[in-house]
Amino acid sequence: MKNKQLTFFLMAALFLIPMQVKAEQVNLYAAGSLRAALGDVAKAFEAEIGNQVATEFGPSGLLRQRIEQGEAAHVFASANMEHPQNLVGQGQKGPVALFTRNNLCALAQPGQTVTTATLLDVMLDPAVRVGTSTPKADPSGDYAFELFGKADQLKSGSTAILTAKALLLTGGPDSPKAPEGRNLYAWVMDEQKADVFLTYCTNAVLAKKELSGLQIISIAPELSVGADYGLLVLDGASQEAWRLALFILSPEGQKILGDYGFVVGGLPAKP
């Protein structure tokens, strides 16, 4: 009888002892412009929560296609709202959250004479090579072409000229990759592939850190284009994927994004 009671007690005790749950890996697919910022967010999440984050960075449109083809992404951080919303339109449950914003800037070669006021005239100059990322594959390219669309308001015929002359240098499925350890936009400019390159301001800051002679040109309000970044947790993802999404939206995650130049909200008022 005692043996039976002991066996029962031991079995009951096993249910009372907290079981050690193996930490699940979270797969984060994110826009290339988020590489540095969300790389640091992922490290902070791992340190605080204990779950490993596997990151995959690239053009948002190409990442969306890979997700559509069945790759095991858990959280998708896109450089626009459209790509995650397209996934929702195809059956993902959503919702898509706006988690940060970015703005477009121009990178110019060290010897290029250009200011915010003269940027449009410089880009229209037939001798000036204007680089962008690839529309549809990379939202940065879409935003650049949106800027071109605004140019007619300032100078008739500008949209057609800029659209025709734009060099699609990054973000496409066949675009050349930067050497290991090089910033893509610093490398493109270092290789003299463009005289002026339109990209996110956050990309421009990172490029200038590597190639200090580059100029960052702010874009005038009448041409300015802002980028809304969308966040989606994919169907079937674990609770830890939702925790990562909340961490990105949390004050700690937002502060890291803000430190890299992204426009953020959700930060507590300073005491």
Are 130 and 190 members of one domain?
yes
Q: What is the pLDDT of residues 117-175, one digit of tens each?
A: 999 999 999 999 999 999 999 999 999 999 999 999 999 999 999 999 999 999 999 99
Q: Residue 7: inside a domain, yes or no?
A: no
> Is residue 89 located within the same domain as residue 150?
no
Tally of structural domains, the chain: 2
Question: Which whole-number Å values give the CA distances from 204 to 57, 86, 132, 157, 223, in the listed order?
Answer: 17, 28, 12, 28, 17
Rounded to two decimals, what is the model's pTM?
0.81
Amino acid at 117: A
In a domain, 270, yes or no: no
108 and 191 housed in the same domain: yes
**pLDDT score, position 267:** 80
Q: pLDDT 10s digit of each residue in the chain, 271 long?
A: 444 443 333 333 334 333 334 568 999 999 999 999 999 999 999 999 999 999 999 999 999 999 999 999 999 999 999 999 999 999 999 899 999 999 999 999 999 999 999 999 999 999 999 999 999 999 999 999 999 999 999 999 999 999 999 999 999 999 999 999 999 999 999 999 999 999 999 999 999 999 999 999 999 999 999 999 999 999 999 999 999 999 999 999 999 999 999 999 878 876 5
Rounded to the nearest 10 degrees, what angle do helices 251-259 and 35-49 cross at?
150
Model pLDDT, residue 9: 30
Identity at 86, one-letter amino acid code: N
CATH code for position 210: 3.40.190.10
Identify whether residues 151 and 165 lie together within a single domain. yes
CB–CB of 199/105 below 8 Å?
A: yes
Q: How far apart are alpha carbons 117 and 119 in whole angstroms?
A: 6
In a shared domain, residues 31 and 110: no
State the pLDDT at residue 268: 82
User: Domain range for residue 88?
Assistant: 24-101+228-259
Identify whether the C-beta of residue 79 lies closer than 8 Å to the C-beta of residue 60: yes
pLDDT at 15: 40
